[in-house]
A and B are shown apart, each in its own frame.
Chain A
C-alpha cells in the first residue's frame, strides 16, 4: 500500500517508533519494517490507526492497545496484545505464551497456534485461535471469550471465572472448576459472529463445544480443598 507511513527499525530507535504511533492524534496506516523480533513494538497505542508489523515481533507486541488495528505478519513472542483495551491484533503466524493475557477488550486473532496460558486472566478480550493452544490456557480467566479451532492443552480454564471457552478439537484435560456447558442459541450466535470477525469460515459454529466455570470455587469451603 503506497499511502502507508513507514517506520524502519534499522534507521530509528524503538522509542522513536513507538512515540510516532502512540499519539491520540495519530492517523492513517503505518508499517514497521525490520522489526527483527524486537520487544514492546507498537505498545500503548491510543488512536484508531492501522499498524502492520512486517515480520517477527518479540515480547508484548501491541501491549495495552486502545483503538488501533495491529497486524503482525510473522510470529509473536510472549504476551502479544497483553492487557489490550480495544481495537484488534492479528497474528499471521504463531504466538508464544500468554497471548492476550489480562486483555480487557478488543479482538485478538492468531492464525497459527498459541503457546501456554493463552488468555490467562483475561478480562473481556475476545481471542480466536485458528490452531491449538498450550497448557493452562484461560487460567483464572475472568470474562471475555476464547475460541480455539484446534486442540487445547492440559488444565484448560483452571480456576475460571465468567469467561467462555469454545473448543473445536480435543481438550487434553480441564482445569479445576472448568466444565462443559450446554450451548444456547445466544452462545452460538456469539461464536458465529466471532468466527466471522476473525475471518474463519471453514469451521461451522456447531462443531465447537463450550466450557465455562462450575462456580464451585467461588467461595472457600472445606469440601473443595482438594481442588485448590
Chain B
C-alpha cells in the first residue's frame, strides 16, 4: 500500500491577520457571555514609545560627567506656583494613584514604605485615604475624583497635595470600575456602597463641568486647605495641548498627563486598546502649551503611561517633563507576573507576563485583591524594600544617562540630547530622525 497523504502536499493551517486567534477568542467569549471584556493593566498593542528614541551621549562638542564622582542631582519641587507648602521629592519618579480596593492594604503599605524610603510620593485612588497609607507615606497625594468616595475635609487637610482627576490614560472619558469580588465590607464601607456590587464610578465630576467651573472648584479646595497644598490636575492624554492650557488657566500647580499605555485596575478592553494617545505623542504638545503660556517649569508636568526604567524617565524629562509616575511597573516590582507563580497563573488560565485579570480579585501575588488569604502573601516590608530598590535603580539609570550627556541635574536633559529611530517617533516628538536634522513637518514637509 502506498501512503498518499505523504505525497500530496496539504495546505498548512493559516491564521488570518484580521481574524487572528485573539480576535476569534474575543468574538467567541462575547457571544457566550454577552458582556464586554473587563480587565486590568494597560494597552497591549505595540505603540510608538520611548524605545523609539535614543540619547546621543557626549562627544567632542559635549563632554560627559564622571560616572561616580561628579554630581548629578535628581531632586524636584512640585507645586511652586500657588501652594504655600510645595512638595520636595528626592527623585522625579512618583507612585501613581491606585486605590485601596483596587490594591490590597499590604500592597498600599509596601508602596508607601518603598516610596518614603527613597524620598518620593505615593497617591491615593478612587476609594479614599486609609489611615495605613497615610501612615506609611511620608508624602501622600490625595485624589479628588468624580466618585468622591470617602472624600472628606480632614483627609484633604491630612494630604500633602491634592490631585483633581479629570481622566486616566487607560480610559480618557471613562470612570472608575471595581467589580463585586473586590467590594469587601471594608471597601464597601469606605465608599458607602452595598457590599459585593459591581461599582461603576461616574466619569464626570458631579459639581463642575468645564474649565471655568474647575477654576472655581480649585479655589474652593484651596480655601478649605488654607492655600497650603499643591493642586495637581490629572488628565488622560487625548488633547494634551488644550488640556494642559486649560489646566493652567484653571489654576493647577502641577499637571499629570497619563498616556494610553497607563495601567488600570479594571476597564473595558475595547476602551484600553482604542481610546487615547500614546504618551510619546503627548509630551511635546503638553510642554509646548506650558512654554506658550510662559509656565514651563513653573507649573510642573508629571507624565506617566508605560514608564519602565530610568531610560524612559530620562527621555520623558528630556522632552520637558518635570517628573514621571509609575503604576504597572511598581506592581511588577512588588511581585506581579512573577515566574514563581506560574502554577497558580495556569489555574487562572494565564501565564507570568500576561496576567491582567486585576479586576478579578484572585491575584496570587496578593496585590490586586481584597481576599485576606491572598493579600497576606504580600509582605509589606519586603515589598517596600523591593519598591525602594526598583526606584533607586530607575534613578541611578537616569543619572547614568544624564552624566553621559554631561548634565549635572536630570532636569538639564533636553530635546537636543535625543534622536528618533522611526519616522513616527520623529513626527510625534519633533526629535530629528537619527543621522538627519529632519523630522516630519520640519521645513514644510
Contact = CB atoms under 8 A, between A and B. Distances in A.
A149 B160 CA distance: 43
A129 B206 CA distance: 19
Q: Which of B148, B193, B220 has the most CB of A within 10 A?
A: B220
Contacts of B225: 44
Nearest to A123: B192
Given A39-B219, A44-B223, A63-B220, A222 B33 contact: yes
B216 A59 contact: yes
Given A43-B224, A220-B35, A161 B207 contact: no
Contact of B224 (A44, A162, A218): A44
A64 B153 contact: yes
A218 B198 contact: yes
Interface string B386-417: 00000000000000000000000000000000
Contact of A222 (B34, B193, B207): B34
Interface in A137-174: 139-140, 142-143, 159, 161-162
Contact of B152 (A22, A40, A64): A64
A15 B151 contact: no
A66 B206 CA distance: 20
Nearest to A103: B148
A98 interface: yes
Interface string A10-39: 000011001100100000000000000001
Interface string B213-234: 1001101100111110000000
A121 B148 contact: yes
A102 B217 contact: no
Determine the interface band of chain A, counting residues with CB < 8 A from chain B: 35 or more
B422 to A, nearest CB: 40
Contacts of B217: 59-60
Contacts of A121: 147-148, 202, 206
Interface string B200-213: 10100011100001
Interface stretch (A75-83, A106-114, A180-188, A193-201): A75-83
Interface in A87-129: 97-98, 101-102, 104, 117, 120-121, 123-124
Contacts of B35: 220-222
B180 interface: yes
Interface in B339-381: none
Contacts of A120: 206-207
B272 interface: no
Contacts of B227: 15
A199 B149 CA distance: 31
A33 to B, nearest CB: 18
B39 to A, nearest CB: 13
A102 B151 contact: yes
B148 A218 contact: no
A218 B188 CA distance: 13
A102 B145 CA distance: 11
Given A39-B220, A40-B223, A162-B194, A102 B156 contact: no
Nearest to A65: B153
Contacts of A134: none
Question: Would you call the interface of chain A mostly helix, strand, loop, or mixed?
Answer: loop
B382 interface: no
B27 interface: no
Given A162-B194, A222-B34, A46 B153 contact: yes
- Which of B152, B197, B207, B224: most chain A CB closer than 10 A? B207
Contacts of B34: 221-223, 225
A150 B213 CA distance: 28
B164 to A, nearest CB: 14
A58 B206 contact: no
Contacts of B200: 159
Contacts of A219: 180, 197-198
B16 to A, nearest CB: 27
Given A44-B153, A142-B193, A60 B207 contact: yes
A85 interface: yes
Nearest to B146: A121
Contacts of A162: 194
A85 B217 CA distance: 18
Nearest to A96: B207
Contacts of A221: 34-35
B206 A161 contact: no
B223 A14 contact: yes
Nearest to B197: A218
Contacts of A39: 216, 219-220
B223 A18 contact: yes
A132 to B, nearest CB: 20
A59 B226 CA distance: 18
A22 B156 CA distance: 14
Contacts of A104: 151-152, 192
A44 to B, nearest CB: 3
A12 to B, nearest CB: 14
A58 B206 CA distance: 17
B223 A143 contact: no
A79 B208 contact: yes
Nearest to A98: B207
23 contacts: A22-B226, A40-B219, A43-B220, A44-B153, A59-B213, A64-B153, A64-B224, A78-B207, A79-B208, A82-B206, A101-B148, A101-B206, A104-B192, A121-B202, A121-B206, A123-B148, A140-B202, A161-B194, A161-B197, A218-B197, A219-B180, A220-B35, A225-B34
Given A78-B213, A222-B35, 7 more contacts: A39-B219, A40-B220, A101-B207, A102-B151, A104-B192, A219-B180, A220-B198
